[in-house]
């Protein structure tokens, strides 16, 4: 079964906005082809298929009785530009394969497999549109923004409310590639996600004085880039050995950015993640204090602009314990990346299982999944469904 999952991932990778690569943003034309293929596989596994107003494809596999609780298995079907074949997609096809493996056997709970229409945030700069619709947390401004795309795709934006999860939800489970090197470095195929790390994003801007590189003595400069470089070196040194803390300066903008002019302006992005909110906030303050001290010493002005403050989201303890039993050798870990499970966790019990990312690669055409890891995740999924079944029997 795991080979079918992986080959289906590669088949869907052919639906793309950019020939030769896999690029599939929110409700772009190739998503029609994905819906047709995924819908056929869902029906084949015994599910009723629908597309909700935000473009999530939903396959419902009913339980033994009509008022059964519902387990949601989901992930996303959109991609970053020039993506790999597995990020998101794997979790949807894993859900379909798990239902298919029941071979028509009805459980004490219904199963809904959802392929979210948007998670990466490429088309509108806002991620998680698909799972936010399910959580009922799309705000009016965002709805207005995405309405033309919804209409163009042939859907009815006035029915967005109907996309919201309703009824008696047993919980949400998501299978996803790790997108990092941790499992590989531990030589382990699977990881049970305990929490999704909180994240602070802000920009630091240094304002110095642009000047002639040849005629301005070193001690008469207000070099904005030199100040920014000191912050970059500080965070990179400080974080060494601080397990669990990541701090990244990924983006830099310099003006005038000419080899013979002392930079007058330098702006850097700072991305800090940690699973303890207090630690993340403390380190954020530390970086800003350090930036202020560097700026004062170098006679440049400094300002910080906050862009994102996302607290740590914990997976459901009980639901995650069930997954841990289903995958007894899995590493228990936190996720440094956001996932649909992060959006849904405040609304229903949520659990996540990571599959090893060879080379730590993701968001790259070379992203892949080892067949034995897919097999291990599939077996964990089967056991998870059986554990839930046993619990429903004992509860019910």
- Residues of this chain that interact with a copy of itself (CB under 8 A) are 178-182, 185, 197, 199, 201, 211-220, 223, 225-226, 228-230, 232-233, 236, 239-243, 245-252, 254, 256-263, 269, 271, 273, 307, 335-338, 360, 362-363
Q: Which residue's CB is nearer to a copy of itself, number 164 or number 234?
A: 234
Question: Are 76 and 120 spatial neighbours (Cβ–Cβ below 8 Å)?
Answer: yes
User: DSSP letter at 168?
Assistant: -
What six digits make up the tokens of 318? 């009980």
Nearer CB in complex with a copy of itself: 164/248 = 248
Of 255 and 316, which has the nearer Cβ to a copy of itself?
255
Distance CA 186, CA 133 (A): 36
Strand partners, 176: 354
Query: 62 vs 211, which CB is nearer to a copy of itself?
Result: 211
Contact between 367 and 87 under an 8 Å Cβ cutoff? The reply is yes
For the bound state, the minimum distance from the C-beta of residue 387 to a copy of itself, rounded and expressed in Å, comes to 28
Radius of gyration of the chain (CA): 24
Q: Which residues contact 188 (CB under 8 A, 6 or more apart)?
A: 329, 330, 331, 356
C-beta of 106 vs 363, nearer to a copy of itself: 363
Cα separations in angstroms, 387 against 172, 176, 196, 344: 15, 20, 24, 22
Minimum distance from residue 40 beta carbon to a copy of itself (Å): 33
User: Is 355:188 a contact under the CB 8 Å cutoff?
Assistant: no
Could you tell me the smallest distance in angstroms from the CB atom of residue 270 to a copy of itself? 8
- Minimum distance, C-beta of residue 349 to a copy of itself, in the bound complex (Å): 24
In the complex with a copy of itself, which residue's Cβ is closer, 147 or 211? 211
State the nearest-atom distance from the C-beta of 336 to a copy of itself, in Å: 3
Cβ at position 232, least distance to a copy of itself in Å? 4
């Amino acid at each position: 079964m795991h080979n079918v999952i992986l080959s289906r991932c590669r088949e869907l990778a052919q639906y793309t906005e950019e020939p030769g690569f896999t690029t599939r943003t929110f409700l772009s034309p190739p998503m029609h082809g994905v819906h047709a293929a995924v819908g056929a596989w869902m029906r084949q596994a015994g599910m009723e298929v629908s597309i909700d107003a935000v473009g999530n494809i939903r396959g419902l596999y009913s339980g033994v009785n009509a008022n059964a609780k519902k387990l949601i298995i989901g992930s996303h079907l959109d991609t970053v530009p020039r993506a790999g074949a597995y990020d998101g997609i794997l979790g949807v096809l894993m859900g379909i394969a798990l239902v298919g493996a029941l071979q028509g056997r009805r459980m004490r709970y219904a199963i809904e497999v959802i392929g979210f229409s948007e998670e990466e945030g490429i088309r509108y700069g806002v991620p998680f549109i698909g799972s936010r619709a399910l959580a009922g947390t799309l705000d009016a401004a965002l709805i207005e923004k995405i309405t033309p795309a919804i209409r163009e795709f042939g859907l009815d934006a006035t029915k967005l409310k109907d996309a919201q999860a309703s009824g008696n939800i047993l919980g949400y489970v998501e299978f996803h590639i790790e997108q990092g090197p941790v499992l590989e470095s531990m030589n382990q195929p699977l990881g049970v996600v305990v929490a999704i790390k909180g994240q602070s994003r802000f920009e630091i801007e240094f304002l110095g004085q642009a000047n002639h590189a040849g005629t301005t003595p070193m001690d008469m400069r207000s070099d904005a880039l030199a100040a920014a470089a000191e912050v970059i070196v500080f965070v990179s040194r400080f974080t060494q050995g601080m397990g669990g803390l990541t701090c990244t300066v990924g983006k830099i903008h310099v003006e005038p950015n000419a080899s013979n002019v002392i930079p007058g302006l330098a702006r850097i992005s700072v991305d800090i993640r940690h699973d303890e909110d207090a630690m993340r906030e403390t380190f954020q303050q530390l970086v800003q204090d350090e930036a202020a001290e560097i700026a004062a010493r170098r006679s440049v002005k400094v300002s910080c602009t906050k862009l994102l403050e996302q607290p740590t989201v914990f997976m459901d303890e009980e639901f995650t314990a069930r997954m841990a039993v289903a995958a007894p050798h899995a590493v228990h870990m936190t996720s440094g990346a956001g996932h649909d499970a992060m959006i849904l966790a405040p609304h229903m019990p949520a659990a996540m299982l990571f599959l090893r990312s060879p080379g730590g690669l993701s968001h790259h055409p070379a992203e892949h999944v080892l067949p034995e890891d897919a097999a291990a995740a599939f077996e964990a999924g089967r056991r998870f469904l059986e554990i839930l079944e046993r619990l429903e029997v004992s509860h019910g």
